[in-house]
Structure 1
């Protein structure tokens, strides 16, 4: 299996910007403390890259620039007041020189921020920034310690605003190099760390980068992957699956609210799927969920539970399409849309993006909708879309059955047999790919068995972990997805196995500087 992974093609080298969350996570790691809530604000315009965060740093508006500046100033206030950062200080004017004290603070800080050793030019520039800060501070301050901290603030501020910190770059060894190369230990550590924690490498991973063993010894890479899978599962799931399935939208909800409980249910279930090595089918059909009394009551489940979330065996809830977070976020506050939910499932679970209709097709749809008689059922309305033309039928043939299968859940993820506004019964039964189903439990089982679903899990994992586009029709990526989804003893692989296969493969450990991104 490992040998097969080394036969895969290397992916393109990546230059990617840290998202707002990643930047603040990294700053928190540098300061060695959890940042207060007032700093946990969004100040970068986040866009989507194949379903995951992307940040166009080169296209920031005035407000974003002001927010970044204010955030960095607040981070610097905390940095110069922290004994974890300021491990020495100048007590006399003679001790204001950059060496040895200031250098011993600034350079380790910059190395961890940049995720690699400093180039000589970078070291020189940071020393110059410190000296400039000292010169300016002397115009208004007299106490050596206060002057020292201002100089330190100037140098550390340069690091926090540096492109080397805000952007992860896998640079070629020379400008003219266009071949394939293995990632060095620092690049591997950064890939692993941002994959699992959306932050900088921790001390143990950093040590394996410094001694080079992470890149030289596959056993070390495997051991670090296993360690991160064991110890950073919650962070990995909250970032990766929180973006993939959108439940991250509720991570800022106040504790005790239904939204916060839904968020916690989502990531706890998925963390168990990863941690316990359950097959990828368990993301859709795990057989358990996490409930407290409030959430069980909301779901109309007959259970006596404590206020604390508890793992409960059930087939009615737990899978991503049965979770209140996804069901709420895939609906409007006033109604559900089978088309919208079906389209989301196609995109997120089957990796089949359905483009919006062009103007001509939209007119066809509008005419068909206008012809629908008053009082028509949801199912009848959907049939009118399919009958609007061959182009409509092609998409709705897949979207509509999935959306109908989820109509048994209302806008807040509660089960229903009838529509509250009309009193008409919910019609969830349909046929998907020639196979009939009556309820969402059967639909879940059908989706979990689809090869397209297994490939989509592998594709989403690869995009998130490497931040590159995956083209499932290209031979190289087709081989990668086939490798990641290979059965284990005749059964679908676990997500944990997929992660390990990806990390240990050439597709993760090497880059092709001649390949397109």
Structure 2
């Protein structure tokens, strides 16, 4: 991971002073010398029998995503809302399925400049408002100027860095605090010191990155993470923000010293409403809710489809996942087979549900002959469709990639769209273009098309149909699962087969490992993924899977850099 550039651009005196105070930290993060921070004493919470072979190498310095930065600034400064400054930052790239992939979250020179400007703006904003300043300056600070300054640096610094400051860090920031009265003429000396310190803390690499050095020397080829590092990792996984004061206190008290204690803490964190948002974000990215918006449908064929239905379909999907994971305490099997749904007047009309509905969402039960789980819901079906027809190919690709984690090659450069066929069914057009006897037979004929054809009963807006172009719909096919060809008559049976398959559960487990670690999976993750997949297939809930991930060796330790 490239270290950020810490050259101080611009002319303000305080920016030059800040640069001198942070050069050492920049060099440490670049791997030039020494160790970073103050690792906790003790053995760390490694499960018995943990070995280095179980842990995939990862960055010791994953950067905060822009969403995490916004949440962290809000909570660190105890603001009412996210400041919104990241809207002008260099855009976070998407590295894979999830937006927290460490491989994509680099600090470019442009982004580093964004961090500098934001730090200065936030420091000025907070110290110019007495009410905001009082929120971050504890009322019980000592009375003497020197003791008061030191206590502020230590307490705020612990929250900013998500761990206690070292003595050297405390002295460096305290010296900068005392220079505040020179850098900001005319301001109260304490306020000026706070402003200088805030600007420094907010652009420190220890704030921008989630530093994972570890606690003590390697044991059995692994370095256990410190209690503060685990608290930070848990907090960004479950809440997408910095640890709370209570979580930092638990780390200080050594209450995250065993895998059992970590699991118990995680169970409590899952009960926080913020966990619902993060679990929702996982499924939103995995199942591509963004594609539910800006859909173009032929108004002559589908006059009931209105632009705001993209928001409706996303909200339906969010409520469905929240119901399964948190209310029902279910897992992937329920996500693929449950007929519980949440509809308003727009969605109820397309589902064909009778009754009086409004713009508010109500829970209903969909018909067992027509719907089964998330793959038969309007969002997925309408987003994987053209303006006039179902898109069997993209429906099949989605199932292969996002539900089964199948290895599909990219489409060839000369791939073309389906030719017109006014008298043919949608399935006949797809088969003629990509099925047996065509150049696309290898992937389409055995993987993509069979998975996509299961959804032929659903038109371009996801409405159920029994005929296509005057011909009875044919949604039957065969897909290989568990090493055996499995036949099905329609999407209901196909969803059930997916829910029973080891492939779907292993894929869901793999995605949680990716999301929890913020990186792509590797060979050393296979054992954990297999265990999670088997547990999921056996009925373990999504919550159970998450708790198993955070109490695993791979979450609680890292491999030494020289062993990667």
TM > 0.5: yes
Aligned pair partner of 2:167 in 98, 115, 120: 120
Contact preservation (8 Å) 1:386, 1:396: yes
Evaluate the alpha carbon distance shift between residue 293 and residue 73 of structure 1 in structure 2; reply closer, same or farther with a 3 A threshold: farther
Give the deviation of 1:403 after TM superposition. Answer: 1.8
Greater CA deviation, 459-468 or 109-118?
109-118
Instruction: Give secondary structure in 1 for the equivalent of 2:271.
Output: helix
For 2:517, the equivalent position in structure 1 comes to 466
Aligned pair partner of 1:297 in 349, 362, 374: 349
Aligned pair partner of 2:491 in 429, 435, 440: 440
For 2:272, the equivalent position in structure 1 comes to 231
Contact preservation (8 Å) 2:505, 2:533: yes
For 1:286, the equivalent position in structure 2 comes to 338
Query: Unmatched 5+ residue regions in structure 2?
Result: 1-45, 294-306
Distance 1:440 1:108 in 2: 57
Aligned pair partner of 1:130 in 174, 177, 185: 177
User: Normalising by structure 2, what TM-score?
Assistant: 0.75
Instruction: Give secondary structure in 1 for the equivalent of 2:94.
Output: strand
Evaluate the alpha carbon distance shift between residue 416 and residue 374 of structure 1 in structure 2; reply closer, same or farther with a 3 A threshold: closer
For 1:455, the equivalent position in structure 2 comes to 506
For 2:300, the equivalent position in structure 1 comes to none
Give the deviation of 1:212 after TM superposition. Answer: 1.4
Give the deviation of 1:334 after TM superposition. Answer: 6.6
1:379 aligned to 2:427? yes
Aligned pair partner of 2:451 in 392, 399, 402: 402
Evaluate the alpha carbon distance shift between residue 129 and residue 176 of structure 1 in structure 2; reply closer, same or farther with a 3 A threshold: farther
Greater CA deviation, 431-440 or 168-177?
168-177
The structure whose residues are more often helix, as a share, is 1
Give the deviation of 1:224 after TM superposition. Answer: 0.9
Query: Unmatched 5+ residue regions in structure 1?
Result: none
Aligned pair partner of 2:560 in 482, 488, 513: 513
For 1:32, the equivalent position in structure 2 comes to 78
1:176-195 maps to which residues of 2 (within 5 A)? 179-195=221-237
Greater CA deviation, 274-283 or 401-410?
401-410
User: Normalising by structure 1, what TM-score?
Assistant: 0.81
Contact preservation (8 Å) 1:106, 1:156: no
Evaluate the alpha carbon distance shift between residue 396 and residue 271 of structure 1 in structure 2; reply closer, same or farther with a 3 A threshold: same
Evaluate the alpha carbon distance shift between residue 332 and residue 391 of structure 1 in structure 2; reply closer, same or farther with a 3 A threshold: closer
1:329-368 maps to which residues of 2 (within 5 A)? 329-331=383-385, 336-359=390-413, 362=414
Query: Which fold has the larger relative contact order, with Cα–Cα distance below 8 Å and residues 6 or more apart in sequence?
Result: 1
Evaluate the alpha carbon distance shift between residue 65 and residue 183 of structure 1 in structure 2; reply closer, same or farther with a 3 A threshold: closer
For 2:201, the equivalent position in structure 1 comes to 159
Distance 2:109 2:390 in 1: 35
Contact preservation (8 Å) 2:434, 2:440: no
For 2:285, the equivalent position in structure 1 comes to 243
Contact preservation (8 Å) 1:234, 1:267: no
Deviations 1:405-439 (A, max 9, x none): 234444544445567xx787765333323333333
